[in-house]
Amino acid sequence: MSRHASFDAVPYELQRTLYGSSQKKLETKLVALCAMLALPPFKAWPLQIACPDAQLHADVVGRAQRHGVPAHIRIERQNIGQVFEQAPLSCPYLGPPAPGEQCALCHRALEEERPWGACSACSAQWHLVCLATFTESRTESRTGSLVPATAHCTGCGQMLIWGDLVRAFAAAGE
């Protein structure tokens, strides 16, 4: 496990597997990965797991479901050569905001210098701070984290991956 996770946070039934003589087996490492991804702080991070072959991908997806790994953590089958490249955006950056465009939440003008995002499905737009505050204020979404792992579009309800929104804004400055 990670130095960031407490031994006490590991369910007792997993402790024998993780810390026993079978530590070096792939199966044990997959159990450890999935258990770790279901614990704070990892479960709140917008992570992507890359699997180089179909069998490993199917195994990791199955274990992730059994361990309760959050759906916003992507488990994808990727060529090992692509694993070390930057992950592509799931939706293209829409460009700088046009004059007069407003945040759907605070109704103030969007500015290129202030982090903002847009839904690829309905083009609703927000300041990222406004969307984070709105998401965290909703009772069913409250996690106590600094930023949400996911948010839902205020226009159409589509689930948005927080990391994709931040990467799309950052890509504008490149």
Q: Which residue has the higher pLDDT, 44 or 147?
A: 44
**pLDDT exceeds cutoff 50 at 9:** yes
Question: Which among 26-35, 51-60, 129-138, 144-153 has the top mean pLDDT?
Answer: 51-60
pLDDT of residue 110: 87
pLDDT of residue 94: 55
Helices first, then strands: H and E counts in the chain: 6, 6
Least confident residue range of 140-144, 157-161, 169-173: 140-144
91 vs 100: CA distance, rounded Å: 23
Q: What backbone phi and psi angles, to 5 degrees, belong to 97?
A: -65, 145
- When the pLDDT of each residue in the chain is averaged and rounded to a whole number, the result is 75
**pLDDT exceeds cutoff 60 at 4:** no
Report the candidate in 87, 92, 18, 12 with the shortest Cα–Cα distance to residue 48. Answer: 87
Q: What pTM did the predictor assign?
A: 0.51
pLDDT per position as a tens digit, 73-121 = 888 887 665 555 544 445 544 567 788 889 999 999 988 777 888 888 8
